[in-house]
């Protein structure tokens, strides 16, 4: 009976060790889950992504965030967009945002306010360039959105402004994403009275458009094509 007794004692000792370490194992498991779910998409934008004059729940970024909460493998969305922000103001806020959220991707939707105020294209390009550089230095992937503006300052300025984005995308080898407003402004009923910002009714369309656009870059299969 002695061999059996020794084996029984060994088994009991193993069980005691195992159960004593359950809290540690659970913590390690939870940490692994956090790491697996830690990928974050930071949106650095202005009123077009902040949802100007709309409840935050209606903004396209919030709608996409809610949708992706139920999508396996989808990133967490942190919408750091502020209405009225210029590229320089976004640049000023960026270091703290990168430090606090440590994003995997950063969607850069900046520059419209600069263009509407007639800022020199060289200054806008410089600020956007520094934003891209900071994102890369933080080991995150920049996703640069093409921005276009109304021709308030003439064709020459408008074309110079629009050319900033493909130039930077090529220079820094970052994806250039299409501007969702190009599909919105063609429908007056989708625009607020100011003629610059989309209404609440069009936010689901923009969320669909951005899901389709962002999905390949964040490792997802688009659910459907925005039309």
Which residues are part of the catalytic machinery?
A: 47, 194, 197
Q: Is 13 exposed, middle or buried (0-12, 13-18, 19+ CB in 10 A)?
A: exposed
Cβ neighbour number for residue 154 with a 10 Å cutoff: 9
Q: How far apart are CA 64 and CA 54, in angstroms?
A: 15
Token look-up 């200054």 returns: 123
| Strand 40-45 with 76-79, pairing | parallel
DSSP string, 200-225: GGGHHHHHHHHHHHHGGGTT---SS-
| Strand 141-145 with 76-79, pairing | unpaired
Are 181 and 148 within 8 A, CB to CB? Answer: yes
> Given strand 141-145, what is the order of strands in its sheet?
76-79, 40-45, 105-109, 141-145, 176-177
Helix (H, G, I), strand (E, B) or coil at 85: coil
**40 - beta bridge partners?**
76
């Amino acid at each position: 009976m002695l061999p059996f007794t020794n084996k029984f004692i060994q088994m009991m000792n193993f069980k005691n060790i195992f159960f004593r370490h359950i809290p540690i194992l659970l913590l390690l498991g939870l940490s692994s889950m956090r790491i697996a779910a830690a990928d974050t998409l930071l949106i650095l934008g202005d009123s077009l992504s902040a949802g100007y004059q709309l409840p935050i729940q209606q903004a396209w970024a919030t709608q996409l965030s809610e949708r992706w909460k139920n999508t396996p493998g989808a990133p967490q969305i942190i919408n750091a967009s502020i209405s009225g922000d210029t590229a320089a103001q976004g640049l000023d806020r960026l270091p703290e945002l990168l430090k606090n959220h440590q994003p995997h991707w950063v969607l850069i939707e900046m520059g419209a306010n600069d263009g509407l105020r007639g800022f020199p294209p060289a200054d806008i390009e410089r600020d956007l360039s520094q934003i891209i550089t900071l994102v890369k230095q933080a080991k995150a992937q920049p996703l640069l959105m093409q921005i276009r503006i109304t021709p308030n300052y003439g064709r020459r300025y408008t074309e110079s402004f629009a050319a900033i984005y493909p130039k930077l995308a090529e220079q820094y080898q970052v994806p250039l994403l299409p501007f969702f407003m190009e599909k919105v402004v063609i429908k007056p009923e989708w625009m607020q009275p100011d003629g610059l910002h989309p209404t609440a009714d069009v936010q689901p369309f923009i969320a669909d458009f951005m899901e389709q656009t962002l999905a390949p870059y964040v490792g997802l299969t688009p659910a459907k094509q925005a039309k």
